[in-house]
Amino acid sequence: MSSTLKKYVLWFAQEHVDFRQAEIASLLRIWNIQMETPADHNPERPFWVVGLQNDEAARKLASRSMSLRCIFELWAHSNDGLTNFHQALRQHIESNAKSLATHFEANKSFKITVETYNKHFSQREKVAKIETMQYLPVEGPVNLKTPDVHYWYIEFWGLDPMDVPEQPYDVLFGRWVADGKRDMINEISLKTRKFIGNTSMDPQLSLLMANQGLVESGHLVFDPFAGSGSLLVAAAKFGAYVAGADIDYMIVHGKSKPTRVNQKVREKDESIYANLQQYGCGGLFVDVLIADFSRSIWADSIVFDSIITDPPYGIREATERIEFKTQRRATAMTEDAVHYPSTSPYQLCQMYKDLLQFSARHLKLGGRLVCWFPMLRKDADSDVLPRHKCLQLVANSEQPLSGYSSRRLLTYEKVSDSEADLGAFEMPATVVENFRERYFTQLAEDNGTRKERRLELREVGRKEAKKRGKQQQPDGKWRFPQDAPDA
């Protein structure tokens, strides 16, 4: 790690682990921040030791992150026992006495927080840990609520709760610099949101998508499968103007069946626009149109900064498009009658072809497409992801949904404006098959396997009960003869 950079610790919440690197890389790009990691860097650990230029860079990085709990300046750490840790901390304080003096002044209140990962410490044990650092030259008063300087002492005891080591893998100490932006997750919680649908995106994931889409204030962001507008809300929270489209008239106009359990009918003002107003972003709403994505309504001249979307997979929401008819039926209604067009299935391969080609044409150069892609987990090692010559895949994160299925958050960046490459879409034959059929086929197979497994376990239980002298009673339970109800 470069000697010109200061060491910091990025402390992550232990959820959506596979999304960390993609989000941090995107935020470094947004803020134009340089960050270095050591050669033994492990992204699955909740504590990353990194090199950053200064506290300001750390604050910028934390100011938009949904994955970070906080960032603190690292003063010392050791993976070789507590004795070496204390030696390293003493040495850091002595060698940096001049630059650290301001934190130890008599008018600066302080607080030391002891945290352990994968091991529980009692309050008495935590206090004992603090007592071992009597050599800290702090002169100010203790303030547990609003300290001027907040120190963190952390012991990392591994990731496996069933295999806790005798000694911590790492001990870290440093000065708190900034908290992450995880409070925004609760701010736009679905529990308090005005208008939601059956497939409204989880707030944390929608904000992660906005970060990976490099969404910034003043950008124009588009969601071609808007639904109830969760992704538009996330983009608007970062100051972007938002537009969307969806084929479902009922959801766009807030007339679909209510999603909340105790709600019988929707309120008159439920809408995507109402959600944006609820969060103070009403002025950033452009429009949401009723449109069939398979038949683009957009002029070639329109350009979006980001396209962020969650296409339907045909599991909880149908994949539909307007049916194309080559000739008029004799039984068709007259042209002046009200007509509700019939729909036909929108195959997954065709949907992603349309999405990537649309993005190649309408994204600005350097703009990003962020979208979900469904997969069966048995396809994980296969080359199944859609590709396009104008779009470079820059991030690929997995969210497991069940034992046999998952979805991947794919982030593409537009790298070419070549007209010759606009139609250069590729998708491996593995996913050309109908995903819905493959999903439910796998589900049936899995349920069959579970049933067989339960029967096998039940038979083993019967044999064990007989071996121990138990008898099956009329109520179906196995008991010792002396314990039978009539005994």
- Last-in-domain residue among 180, 211, 238: 180
- Tell the burial category of 23 from Cβ atoms under 10 Å away from its Cβ (0-12, 13-18, 19+): buried
- Please tell me the distance from the alpha carbon of residue 284 to that of residue 277, in angstroms, as a whole number: 9
Confidence of residue 434 (pLDDT cuts 50, 70, 90): low
Cβ(189)–Cβ(269) under 8 Å? no
State the average pLDDT over residues 437-463: 70
What was the pLDDT predicted at 462?
81
Q: In what order do the strands lie in the sheet with 170-179?
A: 47-52, 6-12, 68-78, 170-179, 149-156, 110-117
- Last-in-domain residue among 413, 433, 453: 433
Confidence of residue 405 (pLDDT cuts 50, 70, 90): confident
Q: In what order do the strands lie in the sheet with 285-290?
A: 285-290, 241-246, 220-223, 304-309, 363-376, 405-414, 391-400, 387-388, 425-426
Closest to 322 (Cα-Cα) out of 341, 335, 340, 337 = 341
Cβ(252)–Cβ(246) under 8 Å? yes
Q: 16: left (phi > 0), else alpha (psi -120 to 50), else beta?
A: left
CATH code of the domain containing 12: 3.30.2130.30
State the average pLDDT over residues 395-408: 88
Residues contacting 275, CB < 8 A, separation 6+: 193, 194, 195, 228, 229, 233
Helix H or strand E encompassing 10: strand 6-12
SS3 228: coil
Q: Does the pLDDT value for residue 450 go beyond 80?
A: no
Confidence of residue 268 (pLDDT cuts 50, 70, 90): confident
Same domain, 146 and 198: no
Cβ atoms within 10 Å of 237's Cβ, excluding its own:
24
Same domain, 159 and 210: no
Same domain, 176 and 204: no
Residue 1 in domain? no
Confidence of residue 383 (pLDDT cuts 50, 70, 90): confident
What was the pLDDT predicted at 158?
94
Tokens 């497409």 map to which residue?
369
Same domain, 113 and 235: no
Q: Does the pLDDT value for residue 325 go beyond 60?
A: no
- Please tell me the distance from the alpha carbon of residue 192 to that of residue 274, in angstroms, as a whole number: 12
Mean pLDDT for the chain overall: 88
Same domain, 208 and 173: no
Q: Does the pLDDT value for residue 448 go beyond 70?
A: no
Backbone φ and ψ for 69, nearest 5 degrees, come out as: -80, -50
User: Strand runs (DSSP E) across 62-146, as ranges?
Assistant: 68-78, 110-117
Same domain, 195 and 291: yes
What was the pLDDT predicted at 481?
76
Cβ atoms within 10 Å of 50's Cβ, excluding its own:
21
Residue 442 in domain? no
Residue 412 in domain? yes
Closest to 212 (Cα-Cα) out of 238, 249, 186, 247 = 238
Q: Does the pLDDT value for residue 277 go beyond 90?
A: yes
Q: Which residue has the higher pLDDT, 465 or 298?
A: 298
**Window from 79-88, 127-136, 222-231, 448-457 with minimum mean pLDDT:** 448-457
State the average pLDDT over residues 339-368: 85
What was the pLDDT predicted at 180?
97
Helix H or strand E encompassing 123: helix 123-131
Task: Look at the chain and report how many structural domains it folds into.
Answer: 2
Domain that holds residue 250: 185-323+340-433
- Last-in-domain residue among 433, 457, 477: 433
Closest to 8 (Cα-Cα) out of 66, 68, 67, 64 = 68
State the average pLDDT over residues 438-463: 70
Handedness of CA 96, 97, 98, 103 (dihedral sign): positive
Residue 210 in domain? yes
Q: Does the pLDDT value for residue 376 go beyond 90?
A: no
Confidence of residue 449 (pLDDT cuts 50, 70, 90): low
**Could you read off the pLDDT of 16-43 as tens digits, one per residue?**
999 999 999 999 999 999 999 999 899 9
Cβ(389)–Cβ(357) under 8 Å? no
**Window from 7-11, 158-162, 277-281 with minimum mean pLDDT:** 158-162
**Could you read off the pLDDT of 281-324 as tens digits, one per residue?**
999 999 999 999 988 999 999 999 999 999 987 655 556 666 66
Same domain, 302 and 391: yes
What was the pLDDT predicted at 275?
95
What was the pLDDT predicted at 399?
93
Bridging pattern class, strands 149-156 and 391-400? unpaired
Residue 483 in domain? no
Angle of CA points 244, 246, 247, to nearest 5°: 155
- Diameter over CA atoms, the chain: 93
Paired with 51 in beta bridges are 7, 36
- Please tell me the distance from the alpha carbon of residue 314 to that of residue 318, in angstroms, as a whole number: 4
Same domain, 95 and 210: no
Residue 444 in domain? no
**Could you read off the pLDDT of 187-210 as tens digits, one per residue?**
999 999 999 988 899 999 999 999
CATH code of the domain containing 351: 3.40.50.150
Residue 441 in domain? no
Its pTM surpasses 0.95: no
Same domain, 256 and 164: no
Q: Of the spans 212-216, 270-274, 296-300, which averages the highest pLDDT? A: 212-216
Cβ(369)–Cβ(307) under 8 Å? yes
Cβ atoms within 10 Å of 92's Cβ, excluding its own:
18
Q: Does the pLDDT value for residue 443 go beyond 60?
A: yes
What was the pLDDT predicted at 406?
87
Residue 452 in domain? no
Confidence of residue 260 (pLDDT cuts 50, 70, 90): confident
What was the pLDDT predicted at 217?
97
**Quick one: what percent of the chain has pLDDT higher than 90?**
64
Q: Does the pLDDT value for residue 71 go beyond 90?
A: yes
Same domain, 227 and 149: no
Same domain, 172 and 210: no
**Quick one: what percent of the chain has pLDDT higher than 70?**
87
Angle of CA points 240, 242, 230, to nearest 5°: 100
- State the DSSP code for 461: H
What was the pLDDT predicted at 185?
96
Same domain, 145 and 191: no
